[in-house]
Every structure is written in structure tokens, then in C-alpha cells.
Amino acid sequence: MRKWLMSSASGLSLALLAACTTTQVVSSGLALPEGQIDAGRESFRRLQCFSCHRVAGETGLPDPMQGLAVPFALGRKAASRPTDERLVTAIINPSHRITEPFRKELVAHGGRSRMTNYSEVMTVQELIDLVAYIRAAHDGKLK
């Protein structure tokens, strides 16, 4: 029975992967469908992420609010390229990991991130598109 379940689970996984169109697979195994950069930019505006975040290479957004700005731009050139898994985690669970040098500026009372929880106002597609938008900034592909 156990062997049949494992075989069925493997078959289902392969079928689901085959049904996907273009995916971005990262070393962790997380696979995101291809996101739309312009839709990600629109979600960034609609969710007012610009209140705290700047995006490298983006000139069409308002400046972050005084006192709320995160001390680095999203999509900036870094020593290593963040994985999609890391970007998704940073968006849906911002308290998971806060970079040490910025801990004081980014933490609210109780040691949690001051970033708003968007889980009830953001769709999965918006999340995928936001990752595509930030990835495009990192790759220098924003228009």
C-alpha cells in the first residue's frame, strides 16, 4: 500500500509539472509560473509597497514615506541572486529573516517585521507577478 501511495504521488507530481507551461525552478524545488512584470509593478503600486520600498532601476514610483524607507532598494545588485523561494518568503512571511545590519530599522514592537501582512489582500497571481517584477529589477530588465 505504501509503495502504491509513493508511486501515485510521484506520478501526480510529474503530471502536475508537465501541465505547467513555463516555470522558474530554483534549487529548493519551488517552481513559479512565469509572472508578468507590468502586472507586478501594478500590484506594487496598488498594495502601496512604495511607502517603504524603493525598486532598483524604477523611476516611476513615489518616494518612500519619511521614516519608513527600508535602507536598501529591492532588486539591487547583490553578492548573490535571491531565489524565488527567498523572495516569496520575504513577501508572505517578512519576519522569517531580517538582515542583521537593518534589524533596528525594520523591526516593530515584539521583534516582528513592521511589514504589513498581505495574505488576505494579495492573490497568488499577484505574488507571482511581484516576484517577476523584483527579479526583473535585479536583472536590470525594467523598462
pLDDT digits (tens, 9 = 90+) for 16-69: 444 444 444 445 678 899 999 999 999 999 999 988 888 988 888 888 887 777
Does a structural domain hold residue 1? no
Distance of CA 48 to the CA centre of its chain: 15
d(CA 142, CA 56) in angstroms, rounded, equals: 9
Does a structural domain hold residue 7? no
Q: Mention every residue, 6+ apart, whose C-beta is less than 8 A from residue 136.
A: 37, 40, 75, 142
Domain range enclosing 130: 22-138
Give the whole-number percent of the chain exceeding pLDDT 90.
Answer: 20
Report the CATH number that the domain containing residue 69 is assigned in CATH. 1.10.760.10
pTM of the predicted model, to two decimals?
0.71
Q: CA dist 8 to 2, 5, 15, 16, 95, Å? A: 10, 5, 10, 12, 36
d(CA 104, CA 9) in angstroms, rounded, equals: 45
Does a structural domain hold residue 10? no
Q: How many domains does the chain have?
A: 1
Does a structural domain hold residue 124? yes
Does a structural domain hold residue 6? no
Does a structural domain hold residue 95? yes
What's the pLDDT band for 132 if we cut at 50, 70, 90? Answer: very high
Does a structural domain hold residue 14? no
Does a structural domain hold residue 5? no
